[in-house]
């Protein structure tokens, strides 16, 4: 269930407890073997789903989500990274009450709220973002896209945490996750834990025939004109 306050502590002390690792195209060309990374699949799914929202009210745009998964994996491969995704397996009976509670909070209650909200209100983008329900088949869609892209996928016997660290130890790799528990797990060969929320992406400028340059060609940019201020309506005395 995690350590209470650990995420806040790691965030506050990140300059002391963490170091910066940068991957680039120039580094990718210089290395002979790709750098292995172990990805906590559910952390990746949640991060991607809420960072790149797609219409979900009709059950989830699985094809669009799968395209996003493949795009990120391809970008990692361009940086000479080799991802291994680890999914949760069957949960022990002891955790069933917690699983039921999570389903109620993440799916049942938001669904009830959706159908008890007026159609005009629930069609607002802000309302949909605030009350988003993750589609039930999202993990299967992610796994299917990864397998088709040739990415190794592993299913743990239980929770994925220990399997991620074990695999990272054998591969001498980092674990990509949003779960702070990986900061206190350890095994020989495990390089450490990379917080997904702290990852920064840099985009290269487009050059060559695909780059488009716009010139004025005698045109002037039109400025926004201020509208006339409306006169206040007369009030009856």
Smallest CA-to-CA distance from 23 within 64, 72, 90, 77 is with 77
Give the sheet arrangement for strand 35-40, strand by strand.
153-155, 81-87, 35-40, 174-177, 192-195
Higher-confidence residue: 37 or 17? 37
Phi, psi of 87 (to 5 degrees): -105, 155
Three-class SS of residue 42?
Answer: helix
Residues 79-117: b if buried by 16+ CB within 10 A, e if exposed: bbbebbbbbbeeeeeeeeeeeeeeeeeeeeebeeeeeee
pLDDT (tens digit per residue) in 29-51: 555 788 999 999 999 999 998 88
Q: Quick one: which of 62, 59, 69, 66 has its CA closest to 107?
A: 59
Is the pLDDT score of 25 beyond 60?
yes
Q: How far is CA 118 from the centre of its chain?
A: 30
Summary mean pLDDT of the chain: 80
Reference 137, options 107, 168, 95, 96; nearest CA is 107
Model-level pTM? 0.76
Do residues 114 and 106 lie in contact, with contact meaning Cβ atoms separated by under 8 Å?
Answer: no
pLDDT for 226? 46
φ, ψ of residue 136 to 5 degrees: the values are -70, -25
Tokens for 52, please give them: 């790149």
Q: What is the 3-state secondary structure (H, E, C) of 105-116?
A: HHHHHHHHHHHC
Q: Give the residue, 136 or 176, on which the prediction is more confident.
A: 176
Return the residue matching tokens 């528990």: 181
Do 55 and 61 touch, CB atoms closer than 8 A?
yes
Give residue 205's pLDDT band: very low, low, confident or very high (50, 70, 90): low
150 within 8 A of 76, measured Cβ to Cβ? no
Within 10 angstroms of residue 122's Cβ, the number of other Cβ atoms is: 15
58 band by pLDDT with thresholds 50, 70 and 90: confident
Please report where in the chains the tokens 């992406």 appear, as a residue: 201
């Amino acid at each position: 269930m995690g350590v209470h306050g650990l995420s806040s502590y790691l965030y506050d002390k990140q300059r002391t407890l963490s170091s910066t690792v940068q991957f680039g195209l120039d580094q990718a060309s210089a290395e002979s073997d790709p750098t292995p990374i172990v990805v906590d699949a559910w952390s990746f799914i949640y991060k991607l789903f809420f960072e790149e929202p797609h219409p979900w009210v009709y059950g989830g745009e699985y094809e669009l989500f799968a395209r996003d998964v493949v795009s990120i994996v391809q970008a990692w491969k361009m940086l000479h990274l080799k991802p291994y995704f680890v999914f949760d397996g069957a949960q022990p009976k002891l955790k069933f009450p917690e699983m039921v509670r999570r389903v109620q909070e993440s799916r049942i209650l938001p669904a009830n709220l959706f159908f008890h909200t007026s159609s005009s209100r629930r069609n607002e983008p802000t309302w949909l973002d605030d009350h988003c329900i993750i589609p039930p088949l999202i993990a299967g869609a992610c796994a299917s896209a990864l397998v088709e892209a040739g990415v190794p996928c592993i299913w743990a016997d239980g929770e994925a945490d220990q399997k991620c660290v074990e695999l990272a130890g054998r591969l001498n790799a980092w674990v990509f996750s949003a779960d702070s528990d990986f900061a206190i797990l350890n095994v020989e060969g495990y390089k450490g834990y990379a917080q997904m929320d702290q990852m920064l992406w840099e985009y290269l400028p487009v050059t060559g025939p695909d780059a488009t340059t716009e010139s004025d060609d005698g045109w002037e940019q039109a400025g926004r004109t201020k509208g006339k201020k409306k006169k206040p309506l007369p009030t009856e005395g």
